[in-house]
């Protein structure tokens, strides 16, 4: 049997463990625009003694308000000793919106905020921007981290200039002339690098009397293969009509300029920078003409176009057009167009293919070229292809048209071909 004194001790101990009485504050908070408040309430207090003589020490607690719903339990302060209140700061959108003071009475039923709020001496709430209350950087959510991550102004920062980040991570301004270009490292200098230069409409000097074959250009073409000489608007062919050595042009006797002829030359001066767009004054027809025929069952050359070294540069494009004619009905034929040692077109035609035509292109890259082609015939279906070629272009290259028949007696003939270089 438990004695009365033992029961009293247990009752007192259980009462002590139960903690001070609490008052529930429950409410729905709204903003002035009618939307529900979302944020946190920071509630702080100083030392006081609750009505049951429980010691309440100075501390701070944070309450989260979601969709306007507030629910918090606090020790009553209207019966505290010494008299005490709660300071409540409302935080939303990363900053303190306002603060107020609560005096919480004892209540067994939940109270609303209006039941515990103490009006300020001005009859309203204490705004967060009150000049008497200093807002610390730590009071604004994320402010310290944001300030630490922003670039700082360096000693070389100046308004109205292009900004760059120095080696220390500080923001400075780029210096230089107004016409300079800014490099990725923040330095400045004249725009561009080793740009190619061109001479257009140069009139070679020399006596035009029908017998003189020696003429001189204003500058030395570089490369020499970029030289294009026009007589009365007709493009002349190197080696066939003239040869060039430096800036000296030597015409062959049969092509000596006649009295009344007009000579104009266009050529490149520099252009060794592969990263710079190489622009030529106009398109060039490198080769054109009619080819030959083949009546055997082994491949034979129907025509060739030899491109000299130094003519093709990265960024150039070469177009090839060709037309083939088939005579005979004994069998079909096979035709190929070869870019160096790389086959860019291969078609096997039937006996009924009287004509075959095709187009091919080569995009000149830093190393090799990318090839594309399309062809079709009388019966032969349309076909297109794309391939890569590793044939070096800077050291000269031969475009070869090859053909053979499947039955002796037939003939495959290259009727027309054109190879042009586009700027």
Q: Single out the residue in 103, 119, 139 at which a domain terminates.
A: 139
Residue 167 placed within a domain = no
Where residue 61 sits, what CATH number does that domain have? 2.60.40
Assess whether 208 and 239 both reside in one domain. yes
Average pLDDT over residues 329-352: 94
pLDDT digits (tens, 9 = 90+) for 10-68: 444 444 456 899 999 999 999 889 999 999 999 999 999 998 989 999 999 999 999 99
Residue 135 placed within a domain = yes
CB atoms within 10 A of CB 123: 6
- pLDDT value for 124: 45
Question: pLDDT tier at 70 (50, 70, 90 boundaries)?
Answer: very high
CA 189 to chain centre: 24
d(CA 216, CA 269): 15
Range scoring the smallest mean pLDDT among 4-8, 196-200, 328-332: 4-8
Contacts of 400 (CB under 8 A, 6+ apart): 301, 303, 304, 337, 338
Assess whether 303 and 406 both reside in one domain. yes
- pLDDT value for 134: 65
Assess whether 253 and 352 both reside in one domain. no
d(CA 144, CA 138): 7
d(CA 361, CA 340): 13
The CB-side HSE value for 38 (13 A sphere, CA atoms) comes to: 5
Assess whether 331 and 249 both reside in one domain. no
- pLDDT value for 191: 73
Model confidence, pTM: 0.39
Where residue 302 sits, what CATH number does that domain have? 2.60.120
Assess whether 318 and 235 both reside in one domain. no
Question: pLDDT tier at 395 (50, 70, 90 boundaries)?
Answer: confident
d(CA 42, CA 60): 7
Top pLDDT among 230 and 191 is at 230
Which residue's structure tokens are 């010691």? Answer: 55
Q: How many degrees, rounded to 5, is the angle at CA 397 between CA 306 and CA 316?
A: 100
Assess whether 34 and 122 both reside in one domain. yes
- pLDDT value for 277: 40
Residue 152 placed within a domain = no
CB atoms within 10 A of CB 322: 24
Assess whether 26 and 83 both reside in one domain. yes
d(CA 396, CA 170): 52
d(CA 39, CA 18): 31
Residues spanned by the domain of 224: 198-268
pLDDT digits (tens, 9 = 90+) for 172-203: 888 877 777 888 887 887 776 555 577 887 88
d(CA 202, CA 263): 8
Residue 310 has pLDDT above 90, yes or no: no
- pLDDT value for 370: 95
Q: Closest Cα partner for 320 from 300, 304, 299?
A: 304
d(CA 39, CA 50): 29
Average pLDDT over residues 83-92: 92
- pLDDT value for 17: 59
Please state the domain count of the chain. Answer: 3
Average pLDDT over residues 77-97: 89
Q: Single out the residue in 139, 162, 179 at which a domain terminates.
A: 139
Residue 56 placed within a domain = yes
Which residue's structure tokens are 């034979």? Answer: 300
Question: Quick check: 276 and 193 in contact, CB under 8 A?
Answer: yes
| Tokens (6 digits) for 42 | 């920071």
Residue 227 placed within a domain = yes
Question: Quick check: 77 and 42 in contact, CB under 8 A?
Answer: no
Give the chain's mean pLDDT. Answer: 85
Handedness of CA 229, 231, 233, 235 (dihedral sign): negative
Residue 5 placed within a domain = no
- pLDDT value for 163: 85
Question: pLDDT tier at 101 (50, 70, 90 boundaries)?
Answer: very high
Assess whether 409 and 304 both reside in one domain. yes
Average pLDDT over residues 379-398: 90
Residue 186 placed within a domain = no
- pLDDT value for 405: 95
Question: Quick check: 322 and 419 in contact, CB under 8 A?
Answer: no
Give the chain as a 3 state SS string. Answer: CCCHHHHHHHHHHHHHHHCCCCEEEEEECECCCCCECCEEEEEEECCEECCCCCEECCEEEEEEEECCEEEEEECCCCCCECCCCEEEEEEECCEEEEEEEECCCCCCCCECHHHHEECCCCCCCEECCCCCCCCCHHHCCCHHHHHHHCCCECCCCCCCCCEEECCCCCEEECCCCCCCEECCCCCEECCCCCCCCEEEEECCECCCCCCCCEEECCCCCCCHHHCEEEECCEECCECCCEEEECCEEEECHHHCCCCCCCEEEEEECCCCCCCCCCCCCCCEEEEEECCCEECCCCCEEEEEEEECCCCCCCCCEEEEEEEEEEECCCCCEEEEEEECCEEEEEEEECCCCCEEEEEEEEEECCCCEEEEEEEEECCCCCEEEEEEECCCCCCCEEEEEEEEECCECEEEEEEEEEEEEEC
Assess whether 39 and 91 both reside in one domain. yes
Question: pLDDT tier at 130 (50, 70, 90 boundaries)?
Answer: very low
Assess whether 315 and 366 both reside in one domain. yes
| Tokens (6 digits) for 416 | 């027309």
Distances (CA, A) of 48 to 42, 61, 421: 19, 16, 95
Assess whether 78 and 202 both reside in one domain. no
Range scoring the smallest mean pLDDT among 148-162, 282-296, 311-325: 148-162
Assess whether 264 and 372 both reside in one domain. no
Residue 379 placed within a domain = yes
Q: Single out the residue in 108, 124, 139 at which a domain terminates.
A: 139
In the beta sheet, which residues pair with residue 413? 293, 325
Largest CA distance in the chain: 148
């Amino acid at each position: 049997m438990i004695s009365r004194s033992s029961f009293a001790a247990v009752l007192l101990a259980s009462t002590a463990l139960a903690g001070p009485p609490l008052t529930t504050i429950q409410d729905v908070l709204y903003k002035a625009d009618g939307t529900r408040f979302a944020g946190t309430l920071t509630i702080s207090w100083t030392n006081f003694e609750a009505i049951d003589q429980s010691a309440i020490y100075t501390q701070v607690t944070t309450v989260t308000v979601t969709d306007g719903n507030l629910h918090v339990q606090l020790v009553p302060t209207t019966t505290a000793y010494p008299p005490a209140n709660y300071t409540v700061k409302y935080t939303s959108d990363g900053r303190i919106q306002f603060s107020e003071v609560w005096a919480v009475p004892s209540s067994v039923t939940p109270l609303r905020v209006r039941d515990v709020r103490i009006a300020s001496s001005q009859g309203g709430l204490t705004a967060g921007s009150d000049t008497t209350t200093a807002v610390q950087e730590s009071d604004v959510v994320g402010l310290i981290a944001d300030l630490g991550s922003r670039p700082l102004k360096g000693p070389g920062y100046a308004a109205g200039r292009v900004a760059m980040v120095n080696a220390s991570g500080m923001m400075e301004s780029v210096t230089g002339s107004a016409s300079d270009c800014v490099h990725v490292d923040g330095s400045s200098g004249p725009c561009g690098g080793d740009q190619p230069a061109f001479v257009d409409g140069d009139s070679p000097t020399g006596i035009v009397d029908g017998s003189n074959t020696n003429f001189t250009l204003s500058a030395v073409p570089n490369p020499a293969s970029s030289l294009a000489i026009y007589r009365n608007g007709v493009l002349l062919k190197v080696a066939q009509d003239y040869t060039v050595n430096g800036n000296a042009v030597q015409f062959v006797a049969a092509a000596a300029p006649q009295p009344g002829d007009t000579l104009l030359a266009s050529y490149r001066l520099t252009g060794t920078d592969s990263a710079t767009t190489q622009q030529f004054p106009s398109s060039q027809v490198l080769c054109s003409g009619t080819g030959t025929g083949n009546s055997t069952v082994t491949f034979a050359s129907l025509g060739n176009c030899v491109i000299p070294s130094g003519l093709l540069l990265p960024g150039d494009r070469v177009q090839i057009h060709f037309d083939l004619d088939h005579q005979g009905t004994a069998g079909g034929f096979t035709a190929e167009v070869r870019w160096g040692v790389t086959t860019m077109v291969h078609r096997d035609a039937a006996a009924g293919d009287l004509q075959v035509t095709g187009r091919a292109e080569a995009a000149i890259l830093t190393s090799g070229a990318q090839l594309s082609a399309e062809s079709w015939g009388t019966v032969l279906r349309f076909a297109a292809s794309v391939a890569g070629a590793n044939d070096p272009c800077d050291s000269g290259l031969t475009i070869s048209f090859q053909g053979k028949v499947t039955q002796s007696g037939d003939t495959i003939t290259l009727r027309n071909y054109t190879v042009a270089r586009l700027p």
